[in-house]
């Protein structure tokens, strides 16, 4: 029984190693384009409903947290289905690896939001910058098993975060300070994934 357990552990270890050396293809370009459109829709909704977001910070958080949850849910469901189809027997390992790379960013975003909201309300204008900065770190952390051009998306989110910080004060809570960076960023990711799939198809 001990030898069997050891053999199974070795197999699991080998599968994890194979997963780490395989490009993850669970993210679908079409889904990323949908999340890009959702970012624009959220920005438009904020512009209409909350023209002065600095005076309605709970409403601002409601718009963007709901948008993030919706995008994450949509991406998660499609990624699970797509990974099962493309990676078949290794899908569990590949999905675990994808979650492992991005989950710290999600947790960090939630914690930063909580701290600013409850302890540093005067610094809430920095939220868009922090969200984009942390998201860029999640993208960079995931780059090693994604298409080679994916660091461009991480660089975009980093640049947009720095612009938000540079703008300063309540202007950083403009709906387009979130809408434009995330819409453009998700479109960029979708484009990279699409052309990567085309390259892989041409090589077959």
pLDDT for 167 equals: 87
pLDDT for 96 equals: 86
With contact defined as beta carbons under 8 Å apart, do 94 and 22 qualify?
A: yes
- Is the confidence at residue 20, as pLDDT, over 80? no
- Number of structural domains the chain divides into: 1
Segment 21-40, tens digit of pLDDT: 578 889 999 999 999 999 99
Find the domain containing 124 and state its range: 2-203
Q: For residues 147 and 188, what is the distance between their CA atoms, to the nearest angstrom?
A: 12
> How would DSSP label each residue in 149-160?
TTHHHHHHHHHH
- Is the confidence at residue 193, as pLDDT, over 60? yes
pLDDT for 8 equals: 45
pLDDT for 80 equals: 94
Q: For residues 169 and 122, what is the distance between their CA atoms, to the nearest angstrom?
A: 9
Count of Cβ atoms closer than 10 Å to residue 57 Cβ: 17
Segment 142-183, tens digit of pLDDT: 998 899 999 999 999 999 999 999 987 778 899 999 999 999
Q: How far is CA 110 from CA 19, 20, 131, in A?
A: 29, 27, 9
| pLDDT cut 90: percent of the chain above it | 65
């Amino acid at each position: 029984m001990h030898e069997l357990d050891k053999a199974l552990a070795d197999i699991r270890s080998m599968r994890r190693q194979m997963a780490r050396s395989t490009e993850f293809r669970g993210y679908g370009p079409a889904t990323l384009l949908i999340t890009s459109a959702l970012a624009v829709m959220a920005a438009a909704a904020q512009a209409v409903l909350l023209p002065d977001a600095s005076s309605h910070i709970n409403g601002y958080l409601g718009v963007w947290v709901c948008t993030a949850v919706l995008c994450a849910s949509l991406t998660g469901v499609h990624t699970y289905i797509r990974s099962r189809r493309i990676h078949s027997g290794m899908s569990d390992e590949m999905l675990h690896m994808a979650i492992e790379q991005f989950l710290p960013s999600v947790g960090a975003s939630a914690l930063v939001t909580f701290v600013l909201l409850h302890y540093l309300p005067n610094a809430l204008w920095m939220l868009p910058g922090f969200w984009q900065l942390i998201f860029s770190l999640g993208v960079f952390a995931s780059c090693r098993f994604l298409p080679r051009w994916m660091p461009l998306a991480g660089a975009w989110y980093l640049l947009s975060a720095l612009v938000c910080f540079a703008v300063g004060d309540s202007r950083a809570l403009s709906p387009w300070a979130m809408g434009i960076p995330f819409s453009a960023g998700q479109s960029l990711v979708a484009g990279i994934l699409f052309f990567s799939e085309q390259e892989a198809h041409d090589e077959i």
